């Protein structure tokens, strides 16, 4: 029985690693547009915030699948020496990790971390004021702790939307470790293009 070409996946979305590095930051642009939209049309954004959140989650999962799938393809066909390829794998992995954390931090910032999450610790009023003034840094902290599955427990999701966002980020964080190992194995095989 012949296997359809679609399942052979001979053509990937990206064919060269240098293009992948340059394209990765581009997946943040729609979020920045959403941030501007949320400020310009607050009423509309609030009315449909759940749809915006679901579309953000679906978007990041699709983009990461495309990039990681392409990375496996690129590295499995690499003509470079294994050590250079492994360094490239590490840099791509680091870039994907940082950009995913930044993506979710931006989502948390747009949806306001003080509305999305409940603080489960006691802080002085001065520290709380400082956190509120630096909400994006707080959002980065929450995102990094969630993505790496550390789960310090000081910021607890307090809405269903926040729970869905946290679940999706944790899943991506866990899966990324497995994908990283898979890419390393493919890169180590260092197969030539047929």
**Domain span holding position 95:** 28-189
Give 9 or 189, the one with higher predicted confidence. Answer: 189
Selected residue with higher pLDDT from 174 and 188: 174
For tokens 């990324």, what's the residue? Answer: 176
DSSP at 191: P
pLDDT at 80: 54
Averaged pLDDT of the chain = 79
Helix axes of 29-40 and 49-76: crossing angle, nearest 10 degrees: 170
7: in domain: no
What would the pLDDT profile of 108-145 be if each residue is shown by its tens digit? 999 999 999 988 878 788 888 888 899 999 999 999 99
CA 75/CA 183 separation, integer angstroms: 7
Higher per-residue confidence, 26 vs 48: 48
Query: Does the residue 23 lie in any domain?
Result: no
Instruction: In whole angstroms, give the CA distance from residue 147 to residue 150.
Output: 8
Q: Which DSSP string corresponds to 129-160? A: HHHHHTHHHHHHHHHHHHHTT---SSEEE-SH
pLDDT over 70 at 76, yes or no:
no
Supply the CATH number for residue 106's domain. Answer: 1.10.287.70
Cα 133 to Cα 8, 60, 144: the distances in Å are 51, 27, 19
Q: Is the overall model pTM greater than 0.75, yes or no?
A: no
Beta-strand relationship, 117-119 and 155-157: antiparallel
pLDDT of 193: 42
In a domain, 145, yes or no: yes
Q: Quick check: is 36 in a domain?
A: yes
What pLDDT is recorded for position 53? 87
pLDDT value at position 7? 47
96 falls within a domain? yes
Asked if residue 10 belongs to a domain, the reply is no
Residue 3 falls inside a structural domain: no
Domain count, the chain: 1
Q: Which 3 state secondary structure label does DSSP give 117?
A: strand
> In the chain, what percentage of residues exceed pLDDT 90?
26
- For position 192, what pLDDT does the model report? 46
Residue 19 placed within a domain: no
How does pLDDT run across 15-44, given as a tens digit for each residue? Answer: 566 666 676 777 778 888 888 898 899 999
Is the pLDDT confidence value at 187 over 70?
no
């Amino acid at each position: 029985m012949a296997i359809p070409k679609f399942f052979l996946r001979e053509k990937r979305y990206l064919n060269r690693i240098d293009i992948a590095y340059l394209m990765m930051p581009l997946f943040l642009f729609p979020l920045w547009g959403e941030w501007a939209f949320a400020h310009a049309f607050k009423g509309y954004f609030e009315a449909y915030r759940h749809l915006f959140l679901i579309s953000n989650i679906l978007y990041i999962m699709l983009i990461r699948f495309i990039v990681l799938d392409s990375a496996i393809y690129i590295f499995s066909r690499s003509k470079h020496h294994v050590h250079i390829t492994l360094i490239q794998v590490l840099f791509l992995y680091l870039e994907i990790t940082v950009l995913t954390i930044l993506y979710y931090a931006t989502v948390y910032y747009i949806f306001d971390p003080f509305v999305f999450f409940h603080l489960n610790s006691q802080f002085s009023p001065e520290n709380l004021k400082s956190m509120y003034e630096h909400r994006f840094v707080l959002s980065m902290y929450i995102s990094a702790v969630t993505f790496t599955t550390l789960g310090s427990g000081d910021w607890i999701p307090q809405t269903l939307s926040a729970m869905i966002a946290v679940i999706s980020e944790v899943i991506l964080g866990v899966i990324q470790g497995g994908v990283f190992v898979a890419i390393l194995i493919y890169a180590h095989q260092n197969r030539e293009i047929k």
